[in-house]
C-alpha cells in the first residue's frame, strides 16, 4: 500500500482548489472574517495568523471504505457517501491527511481555544489517537444519537444510530477555555447537560437541494447540533472556523448566533451553496445572544444585603431542604442554629450549614431554604433577585 505524504494528503482534502477571500473583511490581526476561503484546508490554514481562532468545528472525510453500491431489500440503490473526497488509498494515507490538518488547526487555535471533531466508527478512533499523539487534551466525547438513522439494510449489523464528537483543548492543562455550563444547564431543565445528545439527521426544509431535487451535500449536519456546539464552547463575537465547510452549516449557525466565522472549502458547488445559505441568515439581536454569567463572573452578594434590602427580616427561620434543621436570621447577618447538631452556635450561612451537617464546608446559599407560598425555596433565589436588580440598574 502506498503511504501518502503530507503534500498528497493535503490534496486529498475536500477543501481546496482556488482561493477567494483575498479581499475579504479582515480583523486587526489579519483574520479574513465572515468569509469562505476556497482552497486546500492546510494551505489556507497556513495563511491565517497563529493563535487567532476561538473555536474550530471539523467534519472531515470519514473514509467510509464502501465496497460497491449499497442496496435496499427491494434492490433499490441507497444514496450513500461515495464521493471522491471521502476515498483514501490506505489507512496510512488517511492518517497522514489527519495529522496534516490537525497540526494546521492547532497552530491557529488560541491557547484558550478548543476543537470539535465529528466522525463515525470508520474514522473517529484514528482521529482520537492522532489528537493524543499531537498533545491535544481530550475534554469529552459526545455521542450524537440520531432519532431517525438509516437502517442496516442487510440485517447483518446493528443499526448505526450515532456519530461521535471529540471535544479537545489545544494542549494538556489548558485553562480559560469557554464552557457555558450555566447556560447549558438552564436550557436542560436545570440539570447538567449530558454527553449524549438526541437530534434528528438533517432533513426537510433544512436540507439543501439542487435544481433537480438532489441533495447538495451528502453529509449535511443538522443546525441544532451545531448550535449546541457553538453555544456550549464560544461567546458572541468569537471566531469560529470550519476547515471542511461543505454546505455551510457551521458558518450559517455561527452567523445567526453572533459569532464571526471562517470557512474553508475546495469544492465550488459546495462553496457556492454555502455562501447563498449564509447570505440569507440574519444575526439574532444582542439581547437574545447575551451569555449567562458564570457563578464566578456574577457579582458577589453578601447575605447581609438581603437583610438590608428587606428581603429577609431578622428573626426569620431558615431550614434545610427537608425542614429538619432550623436557624434564625440575626440582625448582623449571622445565623443562630436552633436545632441539634449545633444548637445555639452562631455563624455565617456557610459556617452554620457546615456545622448543621457535621461538614468542613457548605454552600449556604443552596443549603438554607425559606418558607414561601410556593413552599420551601433556597435563599439563593433572593440572591438572584438582587443580581437581576443590579443588572437592570446598570443598563
pLDDT (tens digit, 9 = 90+) per residue, 32-90?
999 999 999 999 999 999 999 999 999 999 887 655 554 445 555 445 445 665 577 88
Among positive and negative, which fits the CA dihedral 193, 198, 203, 209?
Answer: positive
**Residue 334 pairs with which residues in a beta bridge?**
none
Q: Which CATH superfamily is domain 35-67+78-288 in?
A: Vaccinia Virus protein VP39 (3.40.50.150)
What value does the mean pLDDT take over residues 136-154? 90
Tell me which of 211-225, 256-270, 288-302, 375-389 is least confident.
Answer: 288-302
Above 80 in pLDDT, residue 107? yes
pLDDT in tens, 321-354: 999 999 999 999 999 999 988 899 999 999 999 9
Q: What is the pTM of this model?
A: 0.71
23: pLDDT confidence band, cut at 50, 70 and 90?
A: very low
Residue 162 neighbours by CB distance under 10 Å: 16
Rounded-to-integer distance, Cα 53 and Cα 45, Å: 11
Cβ–Cβ < 8 Å for 259, 230 = yes
Say how far apart CA 330 and CA 184 lie, in whole Å. 37
DSSP 119-138: E-TTTHHHHHHHHHHTT-EE
Domain ranges of the chain: 35-67+78-288, 303-393
**Helix or strand holding residue 337 (H, E):** strand 335-337
Amino acid at each position: 500500500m502506498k503511504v501518502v505524504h503530507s503534500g498528497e494528503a493535503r490534496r486529498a482534502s475536500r477543501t481546496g482548489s482556488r482561493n477567494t477571500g483575498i479581499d475579504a473583511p479582515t480583523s486587526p490581526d489579519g483574520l479574513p472574517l465572515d468569509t469562505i476561503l476556497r482552497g486546500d484546508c492546510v494551505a489556507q490554514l497556513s495563511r491565517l495568523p497563529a493563535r487567532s481562532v476561538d473555536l474550530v468545528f471539523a467534519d472531515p472525510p470519514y473514509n467510509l471504505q464502501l465496497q460497491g453500491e449499497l442496496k435496499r431489500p427491494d434492490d433499490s440503490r441507497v444514496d450513500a457517501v461515495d464521493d471522491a473526497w471521502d476515498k483514501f488509498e490506505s489507512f496510512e494515507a488517511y492518517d497522514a491527511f489527519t495529522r496534516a490538518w490537525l497540526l494546521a488547526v492547532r497552530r491557529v487555535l488560541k491557547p484558550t481555544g478548543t476543537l470539535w471533531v465529528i466522525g463515525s466508527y470508520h474514522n473517529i478512533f484514528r482521529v482520537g489517537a492522532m489528537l493524543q499523539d499531537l498533545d491535544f487534551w481530550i475534554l469529552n466525547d459526545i455521542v450524537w444519537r440520531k432519532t431517525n438513522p438509516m437502517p442496516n439494510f442487510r440485517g447483518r449489523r446493528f443499526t448505526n444510530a450515532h456519530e461521535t464528537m471529540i471535544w479537545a483543548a489545544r494542549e494538556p492543562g489548558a485553562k480559560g477555555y469557554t464552557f457555558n455550563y450555566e447556560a447549558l444547564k438552564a436550557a436542560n431543565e436545570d440539570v447538567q447537560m449530558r454527553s449524549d445528545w438526541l437530534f434528528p439527521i438533517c432533513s426537510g426544509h433544512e436540507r439543501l437541494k439542487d435544481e433537480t431535487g438532489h441533495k447538495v451535500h451528502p453529509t449535511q449536519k443538522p443546525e441544532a447540533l451545531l448550535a449546541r456546539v457553538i453555544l456550549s464552547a464560544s461567546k458572541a463575537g468569537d471566531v469560529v472556523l470550519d476547515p471542511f465547510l461543505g454546505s455551510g452549516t457551521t458558518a450559517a449557525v455561527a452567523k445567526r448566533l453572533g459569532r464571526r466565522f471562517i470557512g474553508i472549502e475546495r469544492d465550488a458547488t459546495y462553496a457556492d451553496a454555502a455562501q447563498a445559505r449564509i447570505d440569507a441568515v440574519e444575526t439574532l439581536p444582542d439581547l437574545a445572544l447575551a451569555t449567562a454569567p458564570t457563578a464566578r463572573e456574577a457579582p458577589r452578594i453578601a447575605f447581609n444585603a438581603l437583610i438590608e434590602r428587606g428581603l429577609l427580616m431578622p428573626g426569620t427561620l431558615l431550614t434545610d431542604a427537608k425542614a429538619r434543621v432550623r436557624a434564625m436570621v440575626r440582625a448582623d447577618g449571622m445565623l443562630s442554629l436552633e436545632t441539634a447538631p449545633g444548637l445555639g452556635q452562631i455563624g455565617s450561612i456557610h459556617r452554620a450549614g457546615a456545622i448543621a451537617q457535621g461538614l468542613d464546608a457548605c454552600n449556604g446559599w443552596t443549603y438554607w431554604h425559606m418558607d414561601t407560598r410556593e413552599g420551601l425555596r433556597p435563599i439563593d433565589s433572593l440572591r438572584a433577585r438582587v443580581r437581576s436588580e443590579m443588572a437592570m440598574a446598570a443598563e
